[in-house]
Amino acid sequence: MLGHFLEIYPNEIFYSICVRYHNLTGQKNYQGTAKELFDKKHSGRGLFFPSNISVFTDVMNQSMGKNCMNAIDIINNNTIFPLIKPFISKQQKIRLMSSLLSGIPKICGIADLLAIPENDKGVIKFCNKCMKKFLKEREEGYLNRLHQVPGNDFCLIHNNVLSRYEKSNKSGKIINILNIDCDSHVPEKVSKSLQEEKRNFSVDIEYIMTNKLRDESIEIIRKRYIERLAELGFYKIFEFMDYKRLYDVYINFFSKEFLNDIGFYDSDKDYNSWVQDIPFIKKQSSPIRHLLFIRLLFGSAKAFFEDLSL
Ligand SMILES: [Zn+2]
């Protein structure tokens, strides 16, 4: 057990806290770390859906002899729960919260919902400049949860594209984020316009994850979508929704390059699959799709959620 308080950095993803702990204690394999942190051999550190966070905080508080960590605060500040929360039903929110706290129930359905783009699978993402600054100041790196969001590829502090790093090596060993070699992982160069689209998307992600939004129900959110579709002339009561036109507007609003990048470029034949789902069908849809839909119809996540809370 680590003999001192493990500081949690701003927006640090829970995975990063566990991996830093693992690296700091010098445990040979992660099972040993999981046993210490979660009192279990296989548990805990999933990048998007960790589990047993309340066991982790109990173990940490006990070892420090004081209440320095709170499981709900960790879920709100150090996981991607706030990104998903607005777009799932009340019952799913309770299930997901319970799963993050205790590991029960298992949440396969919600994990699928994230629709992780191909180039985000099995990698961690970081901003070279953030990482270098931190390595210099603190002698250790950490992973920002906003950067890990599927499809997000931008650091709003430094206005640059993120770098990618394999999460574990071929033998399954977890990478050491205390000492990432930034110079050998430079971000890919992208055009100015693509950079701007990535930036806008990142602004929406940051807004939704770092502002304590009022707990609106998904039904209210869908109702607002339908009202807006009517305002924009896509839909009239007692008439069919003009999905084809909505799809055309969508596909011209974002660039094909950007949509491909985040894994949401749909060919023509798919046009009515997701645009129908989001406002009308009571089926879960990826939070990323909701964010695209919101930017398309309302301009930004900020504009949408501020308007909703009036
Ligand atoms: Zn940065």
**Orientation of helix 218-231 relative to helix 271-280, angle to 10°:** 120
Amino acid 66: pLDDT:
80
Q: How far is the CA of 157 from the centre of ligand 1 (A)?
A: 5
Q: How far is the CA of 214 from the centre of ligand 1 (A)?
A: 28
Q: How far is the CA of 180 from the centre of ligand 1 (A)?
A: 15
Q: How far is the CA of 86 from the centre of ligand 1 (A)?
A: 27
Q: How far is the CA of 232 from the centre of ligand 1 (A)?
A: 37
Q: How far is the CA of 22 from the centre of ligand 1 (A)?
A: 24
Least confident of 41-50, 120-129, 194-203, 284-293: 41-50
Question: How distant, in Å, are the alpha carbons of 26, 86, 121 from that of 219?
Answer: 48, 10, 31
Q: How far is the CA of 246 from the centre of ligand 1 (A)?
A: 35
| Chain-centroid distance, C-alpha 286 | 11
What span, in angstroms and rounded, lies between the C-alpha atoms of 14 and 8? 9
Q: How far is the CA of 11 from the centre of ligand 1 (A)?
A: 12
User: Residue 258: pLDDT above 80?
Assistant: yes
Q: How far is the CA of 103 from the centre of ligand 1 (A)?
A: 32
Whether the CB-CB separation of 61 and 75 falls below 8 Å is answered with: no
> pLDDT, tens digit, for every residue of 22-77?
888 888 788 888 888 887 766 667 888 888 999 999 988 988 888 889 999 999 99
Q: How far is the CA of 185 from the centre of ligand 1 (A)?
A: 14
Q: Which residue has the higher pLDDT, 66 or 129?
A: 129
Q: What is the rounded end-to-end Cα distance, in angstroms, of the chain?
A: 49
How many other C-beta atoms are found inside a 10 Å radius of the C-beta of residue 132?
15
Amino acid 302: pLDDT:
97
Where do the DSSP E strands lie in 84-178?
Answer: 123-126, 154-155, 160-161, 163-166
Whether the CB-CB separation of 84 and 95 falls below 8 Å is answered with: no
> pLDDT, tens digit, for every residue of 179-236?
778 888 888 889 999 999 999 999 999 999 999 888 889 999 999 999 999 999 988 7
Once rounded to an integer, what is the mean pLDDT over residues 123-135? 92
DSSP count for the chain of H helices, then E strands: 16, 4
Amino acid 200: pLDDT:
97
